[in-house]
Amino acid sequence: MFDVLEEGEALVLILELLNGQSLSERLLTGMISTSEALGIGREILGALQALHDLGIVHRDLKPSNVFLTRHGIKLLDFGLVRTTDTTFLGDPDQTRTAASLTAPGLLVGTPQYMSPEQAGGLPVGPPADIFAAGAILYEMLTGRRPFDGTSLVDVLYAVLHQNPPPLSGSREIEALDRVIRRAMAKGVEDRYSSAREMLGAMEFILLSDSTAVASRTRTVSRNCLTVSRVEKR
């Protein structure tokens, strides 16, 4: 927001004009290559680290709140944002955040991208945003949400108790799968300690030419066995 003006009895907000599309719209228009998904994922994590360094937790990170521009991504919709009393980095010895965060028992956010602690109505810190970033990266690579269902109860149960099918194909895809699974670990202490740490893990993944142009990693369940393949353009 750049300014607030008064026009008679009306208040006018002067906002930044963004040219581009949301990630949710991008997911509907066509397949996202592995290299593009990695690039978007890295920018999301960079933005999250900037927020977390300020003691801010987004709490509603999802594709519709990631806006793609030619200059990079923008994180939108800070309606559920809260601040922590200290920089919460997922350290198991650090057991609390500010009481101003989600009150126990209050469910806020978007179920498909909620962390288990958020789905359980518990106070959340930056690890909840890291969980959502992992879920978004999984969706970009596969074209499907890692946690879904026909009802809210189904989605929340999946978030709390289930893991999405693993990704496989090239060595790089399997390395990405390990990064995503750690980001989406059920326990806060099992996730990356910060967005910066997850970003560092992704920087070690160097895509081969064939993997970089892979347009989508699909997961298919057959007779209780999960088969994953990478489709190339």
3-class DSSP state of 221: strand
Angle at 136 between CA 133 and CA 137, to 5 degrees: 85
The secondary element (H helix, E strand) that includes residue 44 is: helix 34-53
What's the CA gap between 78 and 185, in Å, rounded? 24
91 a catalytic residue? no
Cα-Cα-Cα-Cα dihedral of 218, 185, 194, 219, to 10°?
A: 0
Can you read off the two tokens belonging to residue 137?
A: 């990266």
Residues 6+ positions from 19 with CB-CB distance below 8 Å:
69, 70
The secondary element (H helix, E strand) that includes residue 216 is: strand 214-222
- Candidate list 3, 60, 93, 177, residue with the active-site label: 60
Residues 6+ positions from 99 with CB-CB distance below 8 Å:
123
- Catalytic residues, by residue number, are 60
